[in-house]
Amino acid sequence: MKVLVINCGSSSLKYQLIDMENENVLAKGLVERIGIEGSILTHKGKGDKFVLETPMKDHQVAVELVLNALVNKDHGVINDVCEIAAVGHRIVSGGDIYSKSVIVTDEVVENIKECIKLAPLHNPAHIVGINACRTLMPTTPMVVVFDTAFHQTMPEKAYMYALPYEMYTKHSVRRYGAHGTSHKFVSLKAAEMMGKDAKNIKMVTCHLGNGASCSAVVDGKCVDTSMGLTPLEGLVMGTRCGDMDPAIVPYIMKAEGLSPEEMDNLMNKKSGVLGLSGVSSDFRDIEDAAKNGNHRAKLALDVFHYRVRKYIGSYAAAMGGIDCLVFTAGLGENSISSREEICEGLEFLGIKLDKEKNNVRGKAVEVSTEDSRVKIYVIPTNEELMIARDTVELVKNK
């Protein structure tokens, strides 16, 4: 069974065609600058990379070109579009409507529209992508997989903010979390690596990339996560500030004469390790600058690591213990020094990192010492595969 996974952004579209018999990626690619000048498709299937620069006025044209590339006799990997058994779409927000993936219907599309207020940049693009696929592949089943779904098991005490209750009932203000597909994928994989099913494991999963979040997972279910109503809350990120005193918002707005949009931009785009270091939002650049004696770069890393360490400790307290710690995403999978810094001082929780085993990048491995009470794993995340697995599951049981 071949599944096409689609991830639509406002002007982009990422895709993978996965053969679910062996979970091999047959082809993948990226369409950029949809609807603007310089539209470009980069496709890797059979043979060399294929690049096509041609005007694409909307996502429907982009999906059409993706399907053409998949069946192309030189770089395609299938003979006919009908070989695609199902399509899985990544959706950023399902609000509190969806706690699991579902088959696409008109009602589902309406509900995703309802959640636009919670993901104004992403959900509109997802809907355009779904509609384009439904038009071009009218008989192919489609599934939507929500980034928020995994976090829907959080108890009320974890997802409610201590604001007037009407802010929740009137404006849906609560914690929804993000990166759920990744947290789910690595928590399942970690349980497999521990040789247990997810039951009876208390786990903290750290998705550390340009966007970063931690989740507390008990018995395979998310009980808390660091991102909130939006992905701004929680850890320090590439350009996002994460947790801070909310009174800072009106304080800076007044002091700098900023509008709400400008303040939002400052916290989302100009803060995090970029704002602290003044060097870059890319952790590799910051690590290099810190090695060369740049104080602010070192400070940015220290603040970042300290915040992750605090979340691990607080989640261990929230869960009443911890059995397993997982690092994933760009930094989590690749930064040997960051994993070391984060684990330093957590020995009191039974977390002991083996420095030799930790000398690894981008592989699913255990990196804890023999006598570490807590198993520590590096696990490359694979959101596309998780989406494809959910898609198969739903389509098979239709």
Nearer to ligand AMP, 95 or 332 (CB): 332
Mark out the alpha helices in the chain (DSSP H runs): 59-71, 106-114, 123-136, 156-159, 166-171, 180-194, 248-256, 260-269, 272-277, 283-291, 295-319, 329-334, 336-343, 383-396
d(CA 103, CA 92): 16
Beta bridge partners of 229: none
Q: How far is the CB of 340 from ligand AMP (least distance, A)?
A: 12
Nearer to ligand AMP, 142 or 204 (CB): 204
Nearer to ligand AMP, 304 or 311 (CB): 304
Q: Residues 48, 58, 96, 147: which is the catalytic one?
A: 147
Residue 63 main-chain phi, psi, to 5 deg: -65, -40
Nearer to ligand AMP, 93 or 182 (CB): 182
Q: What does the binding site for ligand AMP look like in residue numbers (CB under 6 A)?
A: 209-210, 238, 282-284, 287, 329-331, 334-335, 361
The crossing angle, in degrees rounded to 10, of helices 283-291 and 295-319 is 120
Strand-strand pairing, 2-8 and 13-19: antiparallel
Q: How far is the CB of 341 from ligand AMP (least distance, A)?
A: 12
Q: Is residue 147 annotated as part of the catalytic site, yes or no?
A: yes
Give the pair of three-digit tokens for residue 309. 């360490």
Query: Nearest CA to 45 among 63, 64, 68, 12?
Result: 68
Token pair 């003044």: residue = 278
Nearer to ligand AMP, 323 or 333 (CB): 333
Rg (CA), the chain: 22
Catalytic site positions: 147
